Amino acid sequence: MLRVGQKEVDAIAKVLLSGKVFRYNIGGECARFEKRYAKFVGVKHVWMTSSGTTALTAALAGLGIGPGDEVLVPACTYMATAVSVVAVGAIPVIVDIDDSITIDPDAIDDAAGPRTRAVIPVHMWGMCCDMDAIRAVARKHEMLVVEDCCQGVGGGYKGRMLGSFSAAAAFSFNYYKNMTCGEGGAVVTSDPNVSERARCMIDCCNFYWTGRKEGVVPFLSNGSRASEVEGAMMNVQLERLPAMIRTLRRQKKRILAATARTGLQPIRSHSLDWECGTTVMWTLPTVEQAEKFRELVGGTICGKTGRHVYTEWDQIFARQGAHHPALNPFTLPQNRGCRRKYTKDMCARSLDILNRTVMIGNHPDRKAREVAATIRKVKGAAREVLGVGC
């Protein structure tokens, strides 16, 4: 959700004209953003990255996840969640979502196996996962929790910010997200050891600039370092975020309240006061009704976005896990005991929910009368599709 103004232009211009675009300028823009974002999220360490995917990969590498490990991922997320698991040499195991569109804690419980090291709850489309239940089930199975907050920037759950509920978490700042610098991301954690490892994954040469640390054994990795241009833009974007999220939440609550007696079933929210409010979703009784409803209100069928459902993850299905066969986690001997079979109907319950769920997007620049028009449209569509309502 690109919202920029003169402040971003000025901040970027200042960096460019100073000539200091490399992030290891002491007290530079990236460092300032990382400090501020750590406070905002409520964690001790933040490292900016080039993307949400590299942030997720750094989080998993930071936690030492690798070959021989399974990581549970939800059936509804962008493929990058599963990609990050394979990128560290581990195997993604796909599990169902529930009527909240987020990962089902019972499905985590059912899927936990002897190789399962971690679960990645994804705060999808601005919603938040059921973190209490997820953390309880993860504790039971001694699993790590790694939040994918790429679509939950600025959101929370029961009074705490998303990203603060897990051993490590990842954010994306790409064009579609609640804050953006075009492309970018951040990995967050409160564990100093995980933080150092994540930093090494982002930039294994960082010690040339920031000094060698006693007791830290670095490893090699690809670079995914952010630049000061991104840092400068993110510092302004962070100022915009709280007011924007408040507006989105207000819009969502207004739409939900005004359509409460239409017979429409909104998806279950785990924390309506704290989620981002970026979308409003309703699950219709049948696929046909969902399609008709979508035609009338606009918006999208959640199962038909073309990229957020596991059935669209081509390389996972083809088990093409690396550029070279010898590096492919799907064929590594260490992963022989992991579950590596994927079928299109493996999460049929998720497909059923997603194909019956219609999503409309909110926008912070929408005027009150535009929200009122949306409400009228939703009510009219509900009457036509469900035959009830006011």
Ligand X SMILES: Cc1ncc(COP(=O)(O)O)c(C=O)c1O
Binding residues for ligand X, rule: CB under 6 A, are 51-53, 77-78, 80-81, 122, 148, 150-151, 172, 174, 185
How do 185-189 and 279-283 pair as beta strands?
unpaired
CA distance 138 to 281: 28
State the Cα–Cα distance between residues 260 and 181, nearest whole angstrom.
Answer: 37
From the CB of 64, what's the least distance to ligand X, in Å?
21
Contact 168, 146 (CB under 8 A): yes
Nearer to ligand X, 80 or 280 (CB): 80
- In the bound complex, what is the minimum distance in angstroms from residue 53's beta carbon to ligand X? 3
Residue 58: enclosing H or E segment and its boundaries? helix 52-62
For ligand X, which is the closer residue by CB, 166 or 259? Answer: 166
> In this complex, which beta carbon is closest to ligand X, that of residue 122 or of residue 316?
122
Q: List, edge to edge, every strand of the sheet that includes 91-95.
A: 45-49, 185-189, 168-172, 144-148, 116-119, 70-74, 91-95
- Which residue, judged by CB position, is nearest to ligand X in the bound state? 52
* Cα–Cα distances in angstroms (integers) from residue 164 to residues 45, 189, 254, 302, 312, in the given order: 11, 8, 28, 27, 30
CB of 89 or CB of 185, closer to ligand X: 185
Cα–Cα–Cα angle for 337, 201, 63, rounded to 5 degrees: 50
Question: Is the Cβ of residue 323 or residue 341 nearer to ligand X in the bound state?
Answer: 323
CB of 124: closest distance to ligand X in angstroms?
6
- Closest separation in Å from C-beta 197 to ligand X: 20
- Least Cβ distance, residue 51 to ligand X (angstroms): 3
User: In terms of DSSP bridges, do strands 116-119 and 160-161 run parallel, antiparallel, or are they unpaired?
Assistant: unpaired
Q: What are φ and ψ of residue 274, in 5° steps?
A: -120, -20
Q: Shortest Cβ distance from residue 327 to ligand X (Å)? A: 20
Looking at beta carbons only, is 180 or 374 nearer to ligand X? 180
Q: How far apart are alpha carbons 138 and 297 in whole angstroms?
A: 39
The smaller minimum CB distance to ligand X, of residues 77 and 235, is found at: 77
Q: What's the min distance (Å) between Cβ of 148 and ligand X?
A: 5
For residue 176, give the amino acid letter. Answer: Y
3-state SS of 200-243 is: HHHCCCCHHHHCCCCCCCCCCCCCCCCCHHHHHHHHHHHHHHHH
